[in-house]
Amino acid sequence: MSSETSKFLKFGSVTVLILVSLGYLAYTGVQDSKSYYVTIKELNGMGNDAYSKHLRVAGNVVPGSIKRSGTRVDFMLKENELTLPVSYTGTEAPPDTFKDDSQALADGSFGRDGVFHAKQLQAKCASKYAPQPGATPATEPGKSMTQNQNSGQTRMAN
């Protein structure tokens, strides 16, 4: 073999090794960050698969179930008539919208103890951003704020 062919084979093998390593790292990174979104009913029906996967579960917070102990928060999620105990031990405090009857999304894993162990918690209050029944919007399509204010809404004087 010539020295040129030998250099080409060395360079090619190093390139292939680097590409295989990067592919492996990408694959394992995606597998570690992948989470399955399931309902409480689906979680109950998963069997042993529920214990080995990273999961996201949503539901409404059961009124009176929120118990805070330092940075840990224990509560119950409800979906229809099914409930799920959740223990949140994330690094951040639960969001301000995390209250009784709010919708919550817990991200973590299901333990063999029957408790969902959440590392992340998202909450929203569905009524907070919805318009009040019978309320008029701030602006109607095709009109400016001034036109809306002149059509019956009170306007503050400067």
pLDDT band (50, 70, 90) for residue 85: very high
**Average pLDDT over every residue of 84-96:** 84
**62 to each of 1, 84, 87, how far by Cα in Å?**
75, 10, 14
Q: Are the beta carbons of 75 and 123 closer than 8 angstroms?
A: no
Residue 143 has pLDDT above 50, yes or no: no
The set of residues, in sequence order, having a beta carbon less than 8 Å from that of 62 and lying 6+ positions away, is: 75, 76, 77, 78, 83, 100
For the segment 67-78, what is each residue's pLDDT rounded down to a tens digit? 988 778 899 999
pLDDT band (50, 70, 90) for residue 31: low
The set of residues, in sequence order, having a beta carbon less than 8 Å from that of 114 and lying 6+ positions away, is: 85
